[in-house]
Chain A
Amino acid sequence: MTEELIFMTSNAEKTGNVMPLLHQIRHALSQLIERQEQTTIDLRRLPLSASEEAQLEAFLGHGEVKADIQALGDTVLIESRYAGVWLEIHYNEDVEIMGKYVHICTCPPIIKSQPEDMVLSLSNIVSDIHSLSHQSSDETAKED
């Protein structure tokens, strides 16, 4: 690499962690298939330079699913071009990355509706239906 290139990016570091990581993902995927065993790899705990992170993301690519979750800042879920391998990125409200994970699973847990939220939703839907029916009966009354 030339000097000029190093000037342009201070993230020229090569930790050499990309290949071992890809092998870990491959192994985890086979575990998932054989034993339904899920794996999560926390990318924040692993030294990767910015260019290596980009390399990893480019390798994984985008598959069929992309989900956006708004939960005090965005969370982005991407199924990679390899089914069963997901990239998950948590942002906070300042669009700062709070966490970055590779999940090897059929469906990352955060995408599922949570029982606690569903209980609350049930009571909300009851009261919303209730007020809607009142509203429409009010309107009917007005028309009369």
Chain B
Amino acid sequence: MALPTLNKQLQASGISRRTFLKFCATTASLLALPQSAVADLATALGNARRPSVIWLPFQECTGCTEAILRSHAPTLESLIFDHISLDYQHTIMAAAGEQAEDARRAAMKAHKGQYLLLVDGSVPMGNPGYSTISGMSNVDMLRESAKDAAGIIAIGTCASFGGIPKANPNPTGAVAVSDIITDKPIVNISGCPPLPIAITAVLVHYLTFKRFPDLDALQRPLAFFGETIHDRCYRRPFFEQRKFAKSFDDEGAKNGWCLFELGCKGPETFNACATVKWNQGTSFPIESGHPCLGCSEPDFWDKGSFYQALGPWERYKSKPGKGAQKHAGKNS
């Protein structure tokens, strides 16, 4: 059976082409694609057929799933989620037990070599009994499901880098997806939890171009992980002026000064929280008064106290002529 294209589905949902173009334009800017690509993106995405997606939960807390449930711009993004066929997702799927496992195997068979594998949570290597689903160890289920996948998206810091289960002393021998699967394209969308829009954007990119977007050295999409929180932080002028909050409700804190001395990890954390923000652009940790924990970086749990300053100010102050210029160059 030929699966419906996104265009068909848009029409059925009463979404105009113009609205769709608007979505493509904003998504292109999220993905750092040139605006001249919008028309191509719209054509390719509109003609994309519904892909099968299998989502495996391993050593996780469900925070990543919850983050996606909070994706913003509901109507259009949910349309993208409607557009993928989520054939296996523990938290929301109606089937359970054998029927759930049947659904996973049926999707793997029907869409062999075509389906996307999404994983949240790390995989314990210490003992197969540390984490099982339907009597099967996580590592076996990952290998079985990855074998015929077109690609893998590791969602969250646990799946990307091992995350909290891997924190010292790593009691269960937790590892990342990329430690186990080495022969498939893998995107890491780290963060604890990750920014939901990064997940949507990567899916859109995949639907459109049939491949993942450009990645950094840690296999994270550059469009979201190309700059630090600090690079884009609205409190940065205070950092440059050495105006720091020293406590959580002192005058500095009340006036929105920089949280560097309260331990902010923004200068060493690559993520887009400062621009995309959380929960429909409402805020992000620094805006609400708490230093960045650095949750999208590998081993952020083991880099000393969250409230310990990173180091001397001089190490992070901006060098003349850098910074703004660097970003400006990207737009032309």
Contact = CB atoms under 8 A, between A and B. Distances in A.
A and B touch in the complex (CB under 8 A): yes
Nearest to B21: A110
Contacts, number: 109
Interface in B288-332: 323-324, 327-328, 330-332
A92 B21 contact: no
Contacts of A69: 18, 22
A56 B327 CA distance: 18
Interface string A76-117: 000000000000001011101111010000000110011111
Given A75-B22, A94-B280, A98-B73, A10 B256 contact: yes
Nearest to B275: A44
A71 B16 contact: yes
A1 to B, nearest CB: 10
Interface in B7-48: 7, 11, 15-19, 21-23, 25-26, 29, 32, 35-36, 38-39
B238 A10 contact: yes
Given A40-B36, A72-B15, A93-B74, A45 B25 contact: no
Contacts of B76: 72
Q: Is the interface of B mostly helix, strand, loop or mixed?
A: helix
Contact of B16 (A11, A99, A114): A114
Nearest to A41: B331
B73 A16 contact: no
B81 interface: no
Interface string A49-80: 10000000000000000000101110100000
B235 interface: yes
Interface in A1-37: 6-7, 10-13, 15-17, 20-21, 24
B232 interface: yes
A71 B292 CA distance: 35
Contacts of A93: 73-75
A138 interface: no
A110 B330 contact: no
A49 to B, nearest CB: 8
Contacts of A6: 237-238, 241, 243
B21 A96 contact: no
B234 interface: yes
B235 A10 contact: yes
Contact of A110 (B25, B29, B241, B324): B25
29 contacts: A10-B234, A10-B237, A10-B255, A13-B234, A16-B324, A21-B328, A41-B331, A42-B35, A45-B32, A46-B327, A49-B234, A49-B237, A69-B18, A71-B16, A72-B15, A72-B23, A90-B22, A90-B25, A92-B280, A94-B280, A94-B281, A96-B280, A97-B281, A98-B22, A98-B73, A101-B35, A114-B17, A114-B21, A117-B17
